[in-house]
Amino acid sequence: MRSIAALKECARNKQWHRSDLRPTNLEKVEEFILQATHKEYFPTMEREASLRKLNPKLDNKGVLRVGGRARAGAKLTETQIHPVILPKNAHVSDLILQHHNEKIHHLGRRSTLTAIREAGYWLINGTGQVKRWLHKCVGCRRLRRETELQQMGELPKERLEQTPAFTHVGIDVFEPYYVKDRRTELKCWGLMITRLYSRTVHIELLEMLHGCKRTGQHHHLQQWNEHRGSEE
């Protein structure tokens, strides 16, 4: 629209210079673009089957709008009562569609169609047009694509064979916690031992031993092994 405004200004002044892009100029350019589109797509208004249901009318600026019985006074603006008709598959229609789809951050079909209608445009075969556009819009496709499923590896036999409790385990250490012991503060971790067959979980407090978390973990596991071994 800005490029066409610049070109029109240059043609009027017969010389190339930076044009004056006032809002009134841009409004006129919008009217000019819509008029040109309507002339190209609806040369004979009366014979256009797609327009028949819309009861079309030309406004005082020569732009083709939807007719109808609703009149100002209802809580709607004039452009919402008589929106501008946008032809199917026209480049201008696609640009308006793209603009409003991006403006609402690639929301779905209904939201895009509502945004276009609220802006004062009536897209012929709107639902189909928006659907076609959303299918090729990169932003929409990226946001709506199905999440991919990973191919999981085969389960080890320790996960499938029923063995005595905690025969095969997985271990993990989480978080440092600060635990108070009289006046001193100890840095501790949670030691999580998971049984591979049933996923039973056993959690113990892991203290730092000789200033090392790993030594503490090893010591704790030894103790725990002896304790479990004496039970079974």
What residues make contact with Zn ion under the rule CB under 5 A? 101, 106, 137, 139-140
Tokens 């991919």, located at residue? 148
Q: Tell me the C-alpha distance between 90 and 33, whole Å.
A: 12
Tokens 């019985």, located at residue? 69
Q: Tell me the C-alpha distance between 197 and 84, whole Å.
A: 67
> How far apart are CB 73 and Zn ion at their closest, in Å?
36
Burial class (CB in 10 A: 0-12, 13-18, 19+), 110: exposed
Nearer to Zn ion, 124 or 134 (CB): 134
> How far apart are CB 141 and Zn ion at their closest, in Å?
8
Nearer to Zn ion, 142 or 210 (CB): 142
> How far apart are CB 110 and Zn ion at their closest, in Å?
14
Nearer to Zn ion, 139 or 156 (CB): 139
> How far apart are CB 139 and Zn ion at their closest, in Å?
4
Nearer to Zn ion, 137 or 191 (CB): 137
> How far apart are CB 131 and Zn ion at their closest, in Å?
12
Nearer to Zn ion, 79 or 98 (CB): 98
